[in-house]
């Protein structure tokens, strides 16, 4: 078609063609003829209407030269195009740009790496200029496809990195060019994102850089970056530009890439990538990433626990970043989702070690998340978790239920350890404290232990926990940190002391306790003593200590070992109390008993064991080694504290029913914990419809307690009437209200978070196997009613 000889006929050719021809030297290695290029530029500026024809002509020349493999001339043509593009004014560029891009594409289509790289550079220049009128018909399909392919270049080493770098820069340029105007090209369409994202990830994963994290980031100039670093930069930019509607478009291919490339196990690269995403995403959307990760856990329910553990591991590494940004409902949704995953995992009957690891990873994620929330939200979360623990805590729960209960308690403990108590009354709102105490009486010893641990971490404000973890009579060695208790604390303990002490006392009555349980109760009491040291609480604590001693002396259900354990914590407490609130005579008295026991009865001192030698004398036969109530009163009085309450009948009657009934103790525990939580349905004794299989383990004590109280307090007919009335009311309420509503009803003030919580809980209970609402459906209301009578005492 072409003569190849340009000069000969130049006189008859249009001026613009001659100007273009003249920029080409005879030998390509001489490069662009600069002076003639200036002329061409000047001409283009003064006759902008010719610009598009100049572009078209340059393109044709380049296409021909590519065909003839005269690459030197191609380079010159491209250079000329670049210069014109930059020199000319925006409003005249439109048609020229079409030729320009055709030329870029032409070069990209060649198999020559050098031309591809050159074309990319030109494209980047183009992407950086502002066009006045965007060309709505222009499509970037080809460029995205080609640049993505270049990102995967398989050429030989040096060339390969250059092409890959070019590919990444090209993608970056397309994104920059299109991102501001969806009408030009919606770069967020899957057709583009599904190419761009894997291409960037492929390059990011190509080096071990994510292992040497520390030296990364400083990066420097974009052109000195290697493909992995550049890809990372580009990824940050992409994620940073994504608005809410586009986040998922970016995330979807990320997940697919990680699945297909099996990049979850091990998960360093996944952690690295998701960190990058979290740090570059617009903060208000970071929650979406967390949400998507959790949804991915859902998608992987059938995958191996190892994969899930690793995904959960990624979650725990990034969830903290989201915590700072999450507000209200999204916080609870995250928690809720984590809890659901835990529950699902528990349902995987065979909980092998991998599944356990997965649960641990989830609990860790939960803890990490909570750790970065403000304290007031931690309380909400603890209450929320509590609300998820399946009731009732009875012995015949399925293993899955038990596991779920203990896993939820572990979660609670995790959150609890991240929480720093300032005032006890803010840490323990009634609606949190009461269920917690109820759970401290669960039939399962491990669960009781967990609850005590939760109490420990929440009560301990002065890092005394470690020191008080074991009972001891060497209090002076403990080096306890003491601080005078504040007024709010005193108000708190005045108000709630009775139910706390009662729950602790009651839990000591349980015959399945092992030394760990008894020690844990001691620790709780000791921490309370240290945190609330003052004259008023001293009497309560002494009263309780004496109560524990009489329990040890009088109980018919506890083993000898358990009784010895109790005596050991009694003396430990008696040593601790007067040291904390300086009552020297009492301290001397306690020391004297301890010393005597050391001589005569080591088994009545710490440490606690589950077995003692057969010749250990029961304490009843060693009255001189016991703590004497009168003596205690005396010493307290000596120090100027009024002992009158100590002298009154003790509320802790060692199980003696008459004593309890006669006491002024809080009715909550009487009806709740004592009656129905430990050994579930006491009053069901007279209910023929008691659920089958519920193991009734009531002791005589309990039976007597319930019945005798009523006998003592009400004439029979009235009792029956009241009973029926109450039943009616209860069943009505339970038929019409969900558990969460009940909880809410009992708590007059709650914020938005709380009601959101209820809402979520409501939706969840619907599919919970053994949730209270389900039981309601199953028409065993009396059974249920027995478990929650205390709801009506709030």
Partner 1 sequence: MDDYKFLFKVVLVGNAGVGKTCLVRRFTQGLFPPGQGATIGVDFMIKTVEVGNEKVKLQIWDTAGQERFRSITQSYYRSAHALILVYDISSQPTFDCLPDWLREIEEYASSKVLRILVGNKIDREDREIPENVGEEFAERHNMYYLETSAKESDNVEKLFMQIAEDLMKQARTRDLPRYDSNNQTIDGRTSTINDSSCCSRLQ
Site residues for partner 1 per CB under 8 A: 1, 63-64, 67, 98, 101-102, 105-106, 109, 111, 137-139, 141-142, 145-146, 148-149, 151-154, 190-191, 194-195, 198-199, 202, 253, 256-257, 260-262
Nearer to partner 1, 52 or 375 (CB): 52
> Is the omega angle on the peptide bond into residue 392 within 30 degrees of 0, that is, cis?
yes
Q: Least distance (Å) from partner 1 to the CB of residue 739?
A: 44
Q: Least distance (Å) from partner 1 to the CB of residue 368?
A: 29
Burial 176-186 (b: 16+ CB within 10 A, else e): bbbbeeeebbe
Tokens of 533: 């040291």
C-alpha span between 316 and 551 (Å, rounded): 46
Neighbours of 637 (CB within 10 A): 15
Nearer to partner 1, 299 or 759 (CB): 299
Q: Least distance (Å) from partner 1 to the CB of residue 230?
A: 17
Nearer to partner 1, 252 or 356 (CB): 252
Q: Least distance (Å) from partner 1 to the CB of residue 74?
A: 13
Q: Least distance (Å) from partner 1 to the CB of residue 98?
A: 6
Q: Least distance (Å) from partner 1 to the CB of residue 119?
A: 13
DSSP-based helix, strand, coil % in the chain, nearest 5: 70, 0, 30
Nearer to partner 1, 257 or 756 (CB): 257
Nearer to partner 1, 258 or 505 (CB): 258
Nearer to partner 1, 175 or 499 (CB): 175
Nearer to partner 1, 190 or 219 (CB): 190
Q: Least distance (Å) from partner 1 to the CB of residue 191?
A: 6
Q: Least distance (Å) from partner 1 to the CB of residue 262?
A: 7
Q: Least distance (Å) from partner 1 to the CB of residue 285?
A: 23
Nearer to partner 1, 146 or 783 (CB): 146
Q: Least distance (Å) from partner 1 to the CB of residue 7?
A: 21
Nearer to partner 1, 198 or 547 (CB): 198
Nearer to partner 1, 111 or 463 (CB): 111
Q: What is the full DSSP assignment across 357-414?
A: HHHHHHHHHHHHHHHTS-HHHHHHHHHHHHHHS-S---TT--HHHHHHHHHHHHHHHH
Nearer to partner 1, 167 or 435 (CB): 167
Nearer to partner 1, 101 or 365 (CB): 101
Q: Least distance (Å) from partner 1 to the CB of residue 527?
A: 54
Rounded to 5 degrees, what are φ and ψ at 641? -105, 135
Burial 648-683 (b: 16+ CB within 10 A, else e): eebbbbbbbbebbbebebbebbbbbbbbbbbbbbbb
Nearer to partner 1, 99 or 457 (CB): 99
Residue 712 Cα to chain centre, angstroms:
51
C-alpha span between 599 and 582 (Å, rounded): 26
Instruction: Looking at 663-771, list the stretches that DSSP marks H as alpha helix, in order from N- to C-terminal side.
Output: 667-669, 700-713, 716-736, 739-746, 752-765
Q: Least distance (Å) from partner 1 to the CB of residue 360?
A: 29
> Is the omega angle on the peptide bond into residue 194 within 30 degrees of 0, that is, cis?
no
Q: Least distance (Å) from partner 1 to the CB of residue 755?
A: 42
User: What is the 3-state secondary structure of 466-510?
Assistant: CCCCCCCCCHHHHCCCCCCCCHHHHHHHHHHHHHHHHHHHHHHCC
Nearer to partner 1, 102 or 637 (CB): 102
Neighbours of 501 (CB within 10 A): 24
Torsion of CA 288, 293, 299, 300, to 10 degrees: -170
Q: Least distance (Å) from partner 1 to the CB of residue 339?
A: 32
C-alpha span between 433 and 740 (Å, rounded): 16
Q: What is the full DSSP assignment across 32-47?
A: --HHHHHHHHHHHHH-
Nearest CA to 204 out of 253, 269, 268 is that of 269
Length of the chain: 794
CA triple 484-485-487, angle to 5 deg: 130
Nearer to partner 1, 102 or 248 (CB): 102
Q: Least distance (Å) from partner 1 to the CB of residue 272?
A: 18
User: What is the 3-state secondary structure of 416-465?
Assistant: HHHCCCCCHHHHCCHHHHHHHHHHCCCCCHHHHHHHHHHHHHHHCCCCCC
User: Please, which residues have CB within 8 angstroms of residue 370's CB and are 6 or more apart in sequence?
Assistant: 323, 335, 377, 378, 381, 414, 415, 418, 419
Nearest CA to 235 out of 171, 187, 180, 298 is that of 171
Q: Least distance (Å) from partner 1 to the CB of residue 190?
A: 8
Nearer to partner 1, 100 or 501 (CB): 100
Nearest CA to 60 out of 52, 623, 227, 789 is that of 52
Q: Least distance (Å) from partner 1 to the CB of residue 291?
A: 21
Q: Least distance (Å) from partner 1 to the CB of residue 388?
A: 37
Nearer to partner 1, 59 or 784 (CB): 59
Nearer to partner 1, 198 or 643 (CB): 198
What 3-state DSSP class applies to 173? helix
Give the N- to C-terminal CA distance of the chain in Å, as an integer: 97
Torsion of CA 312, 313, 314, 318, to 10 degrees: 100
């Amino acid at each position: 078609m072409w003569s190849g000889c340009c000069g000969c006929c130049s006189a008859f050719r249009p001026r613009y063609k001659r100007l273009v021809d003249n920029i080409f030297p005879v030998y390509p290695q001489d490069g662009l003829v600069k002076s003639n290029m200036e002329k061409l530029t000047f001409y283009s500026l003064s006759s902008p209407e010719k610009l598009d024809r100049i572009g078209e002509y340059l393109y044709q020349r380049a296409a021909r030269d590519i065909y003839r493999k005269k690459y030197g001339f191609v380079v010159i043509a491209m250079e000329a195009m670049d210069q014109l593009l930059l020199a000319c004014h925006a409003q005249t560029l439109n048609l020229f740009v079409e030729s320009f891009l055709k030329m870029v594409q032409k070069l990209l289509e060649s198999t020559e790496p050098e031309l591809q790289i050159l074309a990319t550079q030109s494209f980047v220049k183009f992407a950086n200029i502002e066009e006045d009128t965007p060309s709505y018909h222009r499509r970037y399909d080809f460029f995205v496809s080609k640049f993505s392919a270049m990102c995967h270049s398989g050429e030989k080493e040096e060339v390969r990195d250059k092409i890959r770098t070019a590919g990444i820069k090209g993608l970056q340029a397309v994104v920059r060019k299109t991102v501001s105007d969806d009408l030009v090209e919606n770069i967020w369409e899957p057709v583009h994102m599904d190419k761009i994202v894997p291409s960037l990830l492929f390059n990011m994963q190509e080096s071990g850089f994510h292992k040497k994290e520390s030296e990364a980031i400083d990066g420097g100039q974009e052109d000195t970056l290697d493909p992995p670093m550049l890809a990372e930069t580009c990824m940050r930019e992409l994620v940073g530009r994504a608005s809410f509607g586009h986040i998922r478009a970016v995330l979807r291919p990320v997940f697919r890439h990680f699945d297909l490339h099996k990049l979850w196990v091990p998960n360093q690269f996944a952690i690295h990538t998701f960190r990058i995403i979290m740090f570059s995403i617009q903060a208000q959307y970071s929650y979406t990433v967390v949400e998507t990760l959790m949804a991915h856990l859902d998608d992987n329910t059938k995958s191996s626990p190892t994969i899930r553990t690793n995904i959960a591991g990624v979650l725990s590494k990034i969830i903290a970043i989201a915590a700072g940004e999450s507000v209200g409902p999204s916080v609870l949704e995250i928690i809720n989702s984590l809890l659901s995953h835990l529950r699902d995992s528990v349902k995987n009957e065979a909980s092998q070690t991998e599944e356990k690891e997965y649960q641990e990873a989830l609990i860790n994620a939960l803890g990490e998340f909570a750790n970065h929330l403000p304290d007031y939200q931690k309380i909400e979360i603890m209450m929320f978790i509590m609300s998820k623990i399946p009731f009732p805590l009875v012995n015949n729960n399925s293993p899955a239920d038990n596991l779920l209960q203990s896993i939820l308690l572990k979660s609670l403990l995790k959150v609890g350890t991240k929480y720093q108590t300032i005032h006890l009354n803010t840490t323990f709102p009634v609606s949190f404290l009461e269920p917690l105490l109820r759970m401290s009486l669960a039939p399962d010893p491990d669960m009781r232990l967990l609850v005590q641990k939760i109490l420990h971490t929440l009560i301990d404000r002065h890092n005394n926990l470690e020191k008080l973890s074991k009972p001891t009579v060497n209090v002076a060695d403990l080096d306890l940190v003491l601080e005078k208790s504040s007024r709010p604390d005193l108000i708190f303990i005045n108000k709630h002391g009775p139910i706390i002490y009662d729950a602790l006392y009651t839990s000591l009555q349980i015959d399945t306790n092992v030394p760990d349980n008894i020690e844990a109760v001691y620790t709780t009491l000791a921490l309370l003593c240290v945190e609330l040291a003052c004259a008023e609480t001293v009497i309560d604590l002494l009263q309780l200590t004496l109560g524990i001693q009489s329990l040890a002396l009088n109980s018919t259900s506890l083993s000898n070992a358990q009784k010895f354990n109790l005596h050991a914590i009694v003396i430990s407490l008696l040593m601790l109390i007067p040291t904390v609130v300086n009552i020297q005579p009492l301290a001397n008295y306690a020391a004297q008993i301890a010393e005597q026991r050391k001589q005569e009865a080591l088994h009545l001192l710490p440490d606690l064991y589950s077995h003692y030698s057969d010749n250990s004398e029961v304490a009843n036969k060693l009255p001189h080694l016991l703590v004497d109530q009168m003596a205690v009163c005396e010493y307290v009085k000596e120090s100027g504290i009024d002992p009158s309450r100590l002298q009154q009948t003790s509320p802790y009657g060692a199980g003696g029913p008459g004593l309890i009934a006669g006491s002024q103790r809080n009715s909550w525990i009487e009806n709740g914990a004592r009656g129905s939580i430990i050994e579930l349905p006491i009053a069901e004794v007279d209910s023929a419809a008691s659920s089958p299989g519920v193991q009734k383990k009531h002791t005589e004590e309990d039976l007597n307690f319930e019945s005798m109280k009523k006998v003592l307090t009400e004439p029979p007919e009235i009792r029956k009437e009241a009973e029926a009335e109450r039943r009616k009311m209860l069943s009505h309420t339970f038929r019409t209200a969900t558990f969460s509503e009940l909880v809410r009803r009992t708590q007059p003030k709650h914020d938005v978070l709380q009601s959101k919580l209820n809402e979520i809980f409501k939706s969840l209970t619907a599919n919970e196997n053994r949730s209270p609402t389900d039981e309601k459906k199953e028409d065993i209301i009396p059974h249920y009613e027995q478990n929650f009578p205390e709801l009506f005492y709030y």
